[in-house]
């Protein structure tokens, strides 16, 4: 099995949104009564859409990459500037909040970076890939060593 940008991004996206949804369900079960800790129908729709978008990256279609980059970049920017200040103002942050915040944003960054690289035309190439070094290569001439 070889890795590709679409596979790396899909795994990162699925991991990020599954982890975040699981923590949100856990928080909603704690019964804090805070709106920020509820797992609502809207939460299910958003997490479901982002999981579907993450899996759609496996199709390697350009419009899916653009959609994933824009959506994940928006969430990546929204998290530290809107979501976390709102949560922090509502209740003290727990260890799980910090861990989820770090891993979630890191995984989103992986998805966005893979997307930007793929849109730019990059591909993952393993160490065993053969590279044709004859294209546009100037002949190598030996330079005598100084004595």
3-class secondary-structure state, position 128: coil
| Average pLDDT of the residues in 111-125 | 89
| Average pLDDT of the residues in 16-39 | 87
pLDDT at 75: 94
Distance CA 15, CA 107 (A): 8
Q: Residue 90: is its pLDDT beyond 70?
A: yes
pTM of the model: 0.79
Domain residues of the chain, as ranges?
A: 5-119
Question: CB under 8 Å, gap of 24 or more: what pairs does 100-106 form?
Answer: 100/19, 100/20, 100/23, 103/16, 103/19, 104/16, 104/19, 104/20, 104/79, 105/76, 105/79, 105/80
């Amino acid at each position: 099995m070889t890795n590709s940008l679409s596979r790396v991004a899909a795994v990162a996206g699925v991991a990020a949104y599954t982890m975040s949804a699981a923590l949100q369900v856990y928080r909603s079960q704690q019964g804090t009564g805070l709106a920020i800790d509820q797992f609502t129908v809207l939460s299910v729709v958003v997490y479901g859409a982002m999981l579907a978008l993450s899996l759609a990256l496996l199709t390697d279609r350009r419009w899916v990459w653009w959609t994933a980059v824009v959506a994940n970049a928006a969430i990546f920017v929204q998290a530290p500037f809107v979501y976390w200040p709102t949560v922090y103002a509502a209740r003290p942050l727990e260890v799980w909040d910090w861990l989820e915040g770090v891993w979630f944003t890191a995984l989103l960054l992986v998805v966005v970076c893979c997307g930007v690289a793929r849109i730019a035309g990059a591909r993952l190439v393993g160490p065993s890939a053969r590279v044709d070094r004859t294209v546009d290569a100037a002949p190598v001439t030996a330079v005598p060593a100084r004595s």
